[in-house]
Amino acid sequence: MNDIGHKDPLLVVASGNRGKLREISDLLSPLGWAVRPQGDWGIPEAVENGLSFIENALIKARHASRLTGHAALADDSGLSVDALEGAPGIYSARYADDQGDEANNLKLLEALQGIPDEKRGAHFYCAMALVRHEEDPAPLVAIGRWDGKITHRPSGGGGFGYDPLFLIDGRDCTSAELPTAEKNRLSHRGQALRDMVRMMRDELSD
């Protein structure tokens, strides 16, 4: 069963990222939603074999809903670099064969060696999906995009992933140099999440 329409609806988030869970919970609690991570049910991670961010977000949301019996929310995010025809894209987290953020950043800098500033355009992309139940034919889908360019060397000690290389459009700093609250406000994931909350308020609230 799902909990949509109950007095205190429960939403499973297909992520173990505590920061993400806190952010989602803070935005949804005024709507009466209780947010819990899929790890509370001890379920395995979904096999992300889609060919797009949206497909992978839906795969993860349906997987969590199927194994918990509740409505589920998932997102899939990554970095797309113009000069690399959109790579690393959906493979952003495992770009350097699952060797971690530092290896991913080094591989990206090597791939862009010799590419001038004007051709180093890139954007972070986030697809977020909510399913009311496993076979929901009309899931809610929100998209966020954050434009910038790739620097020639890392800068900043905050964030994670490619943040130290992502120079934000209109600002003389990387994502890793932003305060956390400011990053969450501007980021692709923050954009998608706020849009998702708006849709949930409009379509799912009593």
Residue 123's H or E segment, with its range, is: strand 121-131
Strands (E), 132-180: 140-150, 166-168
Phi, psi of 77 (to 5 degrees): -135, 160
Task: Give the pLDDT of residue 205.
Answer: 64
The pLDDT of residue 114 is 96
Instruction: Give the per-residue pLDDT at 204.
Output: 75
Q: Which residues of the chain have pLDDT under 50?
A: 1-7
Average pLDDT of the residues of the chain: 91
User: What is the pLDDT, as a whole number, of residue 206?
Assistant: 54
The catalytic residue positions are: 76
Which pLDDT score is estimated for 32?
84
Q: What domains are defined for the chain?
A: 10-203 (3.90.950.10)
Q: Other CB atoms closer than 10 Å to residue 116's CB: what's the count?
A: 8
Question: 35 in helix, strand or coil?
Answer: strand
- Please state the separation of Cα 189 from the chain's center in Å: 5
